[in-house]
Every structure is written in structure tokens, then in C-alpha cells.
Amino acid sequence: MWPVEQRAFDAYRQQFGREPQMVASAPGRVNLIGEHTDYTGGFVLPCAIDRRIAVALGISPTESRHHGRVYAADLADMREMVPTGGQRDGSWADYLRGVAWALTRAGMVVPAVEAAIAGEVPQGAGLSSSAALEAATALALTTLAQQSLPRRELALLCQQAENGFVGVQCGIMDQYAALLCTEGHALFIDCASLEAETVPLALEASGLALVVCDTRVKRGLGATAYNERRASCERAAKALGVPTLRQAQEDDLARLTGEDLKRARHVVRENARVQQAVSALRANDFAALGRLMYASHESLREDYAVSTPELDAIVTCAQEVGALGARLTGAGFGGCALALLARAQVEQLTETITQHFAQQGFTAPSFYLVRPSEGAALAA
């Protein structure tokens, strides 16, 4: 049992006076490359990380007056599984409620449950804590209800929960990563066909490390800026006469102008970078992957306009210490950047960034050395 799973187990027992019937956990993720391409039918290349969110579940006692309750151990916060009026309330509990809602819509009988969650994926950092919570909840609920659904189907239901209940129009990448990733690999996802395949990510054998640098600038995916960029991509696709920007080519960009041109240019070129990155990993060419990461960040900064001074500073510092590559990861507007570098350079990188942030008056950053990890799983 992962330590975070044990914490969820213990929190459940403390809050509800008995042991849970089911414990599941799912990982956060970093996206190596392919940002803001998933909701336009493009390509992405995430990997799960060894930081997880765990959910401990049990069916509510029949004499309970509740429709079920959920408890967040890290927040010491208890919520009703079905809030007053049956709608979302804007809290963390909406992600569990949304999964139950999506499973019910799919025809599954979801029992009233009591649940406790514990996590080690930083919230609001762009590491997809929400999808991790959804995936762990979906796996636990379906197992508790003695239902067996394919992982891809579970991922789509989790996406429906976030789109239709929580109200964030995310693509499929985060839920796929949380449910389909395997240890030591990245996951190459075609967001149009929904096909996915693992790609070796042999960091340790190459003496390399992935460092997540958290600016600690919180961001909310519900912010209008995210939906504005999605709308811009849809306008650009309509102007080009294609279903999504996945079908657009470099030559098509000359037919666009203004903001829609810049957003579309990022998406078209980012899709090409992802495919090149997959080829680089299959050839164990991490130098090529790093160059693509730097190019991706420049595009996200200049064309997609989702970077921040803090994220740009991390990438600049990474270049100064000789990192192979660095880029913002996640939706941007804050959150994290990712650096690919030699393990021997990690301390130099963190010191350089910390000093630079102090000089600029930024909030002190946090750092996570992450490993490509497994997807959602039931506790042993």
C-alpha cells in the first residue's frame, strides 16, 4: 500500500468508525510536450508521476441519514456526497460527485458511499490533481459496485464528469494519463482517435532526471482565459474549414490573422513537435527531446500567451545551467515548469532558480524530482 493510500485508509477509519471496503489511488502527471493540443484533436505525450491521490470508500450504512459523505484528510473538511439541491458547490468534492454522476448516466447503479481522500499531488500546480482524484474515485466506485470497465472507458467517463458536472472543458489527456500510464514510460495519445501507446522513457539508464519546478502561482482551470483559448482554436478551425486544428497544415496558417493565427500556429507546430519527440524517445535521443521542449515553451509564451514571468524565469535558469530542455507543463497561467537534465545538475538548477526568484521578489518555488510511474491502481 502506498503511504498516501494508508493515510486515506486511516482517515476513513477515524472519521467513520470502521474500515473502508475499497482503497484506490491514481497519479498526477506531467506533460513532456503537447500543450493545449488535446482539446483540438491533436497529440500529447504525458507521463504519470510518483505522487498520487488516494480514495478510501465504503457503502453508507443503511440507517444513515446521509446520501453519503466525503472527507478530505488534508483539508480536514467533510462534505455531503449529494449537496443541497443536488448540484455542484464549487468545492473539491465536486470531482467525486461528478464521477458518480457520470457513472450513473452510463447506467451503473452507484451506491451511496462514504469516502476519505488523501493526496500528495499539489493542487493548482498544473500536475492534474483533479484527474487523479477522478480516476481513483472511478476505479474505487466501479470495483465496489462489482463493475468491470475498460480503462479507456473509465477515462472517458472521468472526462465527462469534469466537462458536464464540474464545468471545465478539458480534453482527454489527464484522465488517460491517470488511468493508462505505466512505470518507466510516457504515453503517446492521439486525441482524435483516442488511441494511445506507451513510449520508453529511460531516464535513469541515461543518467537523467525530470524536475518539476512549482512557481506556487495558483491557477484555476475554470478561469475564462482557458476557455477563451479553446474558443479561439474553434474559430480558427471554422475559418479554415476543418473539423479541428488537427487537420490544419502549416500552409493553412497564412489564411488566418490576429489572435486566432497565433493560437492556431502554436497548435499546428506543437503537434509536429510531439511526433518528433516520440521519435526522439524511441531513438533514446534526449538531446533532441530537450530542444523540442525549449521550442514548445517559446511557442506557449509567444503564440499561446499562457506563460508567466515565473515560468519564463525557470526556463531561462534551466538554459543557464545547461539543462537539455525545459518548458511550462499544464495549462499555464502559473503552476509548474518541467526541466530535463543530468542528475548531477539537479542541485545547481534548484539553487539557481531559488536565488533568481528571491532576487525578483517572486514567491519561493518548490521542486519535485519525479519518476515515470504507474497509473491508477487498487491498494494491495
The residues carrying an active-site annotation are 174
Ordered strands of the 208-214 beta sheet: 325-329, 336-342, 208-214, 366-370
How far does CA 161 lie from the centroid of its chain? 15
DSSP at 369:
E
Torsion of CA 158, 159, 161, 167, to 10 degrees: 150
Angle 67-71-74 from CA coordinates, rounded to 5°: 165
CA distances from 41 to 172, 195, 243, 279 (A): 10, 11, 9, 20
Beta bridge partners of 339: 211, 326
Report which of 314, 233, 218 is spatially closest to residue 41, judged by C-alpha positions: 233
**How many Å apart are CA 28 and CA 15, to the nearest integer?**
26
Residue 75 CB contacts under 8 Å (≥ 6 apart), including other chains: 92
Q: Yes or no: say if 152 and 193 are a contact pair by the CB < 8 Å rule.
A: no
